Structure 1
Amino acid sequence: MYIMGKFNVDNLPRTSETQAKEGIAVAKEDLQLGDLVFFNTISNKISHAGIYLGDDQFAHSSSSKGVRISKLSESYYKDRYVTARRVVDEKSYLKMIE
């Protein structure tokens, strides 16, 4: 929520399950910096989210390990990947990559 606020995305729902319904759906092969990526880590629903950093990497937080950078291709996340959403507008995205 803190990072998204830096890009003027201040109306994002609190839970990853509801966040996964916001913005525009993005195919995994079309991910851009700042896209939100979602995973099924508990039961059959979306329960974890991260921010795509490029080069197969995403930042995310865990209650036991704090903020981490992981790869989408790691078997744990690859097997649990559900979807991605673009919530950062193009103007903010362009500022991000400058």
Structure 2
Amino acid sequence: MNHEALNFISSNQGKYNFYVWSNNQRTTLEEILKENNLNNLFKSTVSGTDVKLFKPDPEGFYRLYDTSQNKKDYLMIGDSENDKKAAENSGIDYLYLHI
């Protein structure tokens, strides 16, 4: 776990909405969140179980996307080239975070 990222997320609850978009299966994702006490930090999650097409296809983003918001208000933080391509395909900014 990247403790700086977790601290940022914890410290900015209410200021930003945080989501998880993962290619992991739903049970795996829920287990990871539970084991690390992260369940309450995210507004919503999308897993590989929830989509027909995995990243870099943007389907997962559109399951999280609030159409009343501007895409410029979204930032994808990821740790792979696949995440970067998913952000590009979704039309949102990307920040690489080494985990």
Larger relative helix fraction: 2
- Fold equivalence (TM over 0.5): no
- The TM-score range, normalised by the shorter chain, is under 0.3
Higher relative contact order (CA 8 A, sep 6+): 1
TM-score (norm: length of structure 1): 0.26
TM-score by length of 2: 0.26
Whichever structure has more strand as a proportion of its residues is: 1
